[in-house]
Amino acid sequence: MLVAGVDVGSVATKVAVIDGDKTYCRLAPTGWSPRDAGLRTFRELMADLGVSEKQVDFVVGTGYGRISLSFVHKAVTEITCHARGAAHMVPGSAAVIDVGGQDSKVIKIDHRGRVLDFIMNDKCAAGTGRFLQVTAAALGADVSELADLARGKKPVHLSSMCAVFAESEVIGLLAAGRDKGEIVAGLHRSIARRIASMVQRLGLVDRITFTGGVARNEDLRLCLEAELGAEVVVPEQCQMAGAVGAALIARDQVEGKAQWLS
């Protein structure tokens, strides 16, 4: 059996293929066309594996671009797919924090990765990957450099989590001579507090898994642990959780085990 999950996010497109007990993954920038990015990344992984699209038994699409994927057999929300993928990557997870390019979400799950409850922030860029991109640009840094800049620094207080106002505040702090690393540390603490409040609203206290590209920011992970007073685990392929979850749901569909999705 060959099944696939395609997760088209605002920044990156991820594809996971499950073949027996093996999982193969590919990640590429989404660019301007979610439809083209999904199909192109799917076909590139098929070519790498040396199989044709017709050999794939079932494909599930997810992410904000899922509705544009005409080649998938089923579209499933990213909440459901991230929950399933995180539970698979970190068995025993009770909660998932996922910070994407355009939203952040906290999902309460059971031991099988089924969604029990969730909170999603998709109304503004505060606390999202986009927020970090904007503020990193204002600092003249790349997002990948933020964790190193903040390491061991005393965080400054930031009064705004609005991406527009925070950018202005960061520029003002730089003009006042504040250390760049201290500003980044302040950003991480502010984001961690915002996400921690979402976790606490769901009444979650432990067994927390952190997914998405922002999860690679080690300083932000440490800030989350400090705010929550609990261990926050980042799986090795944290960016692939949605795609892997989609592929697992595709396998459930083929095996007739997906009744709980309806």
CATH of the domain at 247: 3.30.420.40
Same domain, residue pair 216 and 250: no
Counted domains in the chain: 2
* pLDDT at residue 163 greater than cutoff 60: no
Same domain, residue pair 115 and 214: yes
Q: Is 226 helix (H, G, I), strand (E, B) or coil?
A: helix
Residue 65 has what DSSP assignment? T
Calculate what percentage of the chain has a pLDDT beyond 70: 93
Same domain, residue pair 143 and 67: no
Same domain, residue pair 218 and 242: no
Tokens representing 135 are: 């503020």
- The answer to which of 15-19, 25-29, 95-99, 100-104 has the lowest mean pLDDT is 100-104
Q: Is 29 helix (H, G, I), strand (E, B) or coil?
A: strand
Same domain, residue pair 176 and 249: no
What pLDDT is recorded for position 220? Answer: 93
Same domain, residue pair 75 and 123: no
Same domain, residue pair 101 and 75: no
Same domain, residue pair 125 and 181: yes
Look-up: residue for tokens 């930031």?
A: 158
- In this prediction the pTM is 0.89
Same domain, residue pair 107 and 220: yes
Same domain, residue pair 105 and 170: yes
Same domain, residue pair 123 and 248: no
What pLDDT is recorded for position 32? Answer: 87
Band (pLDDT 50/70/90 cuts) for residue 108 is very high
What pLDDT is recorded for position 260? Answer: 55
List the domain range (segments joined by +) for residue 221. Answer: 92-234
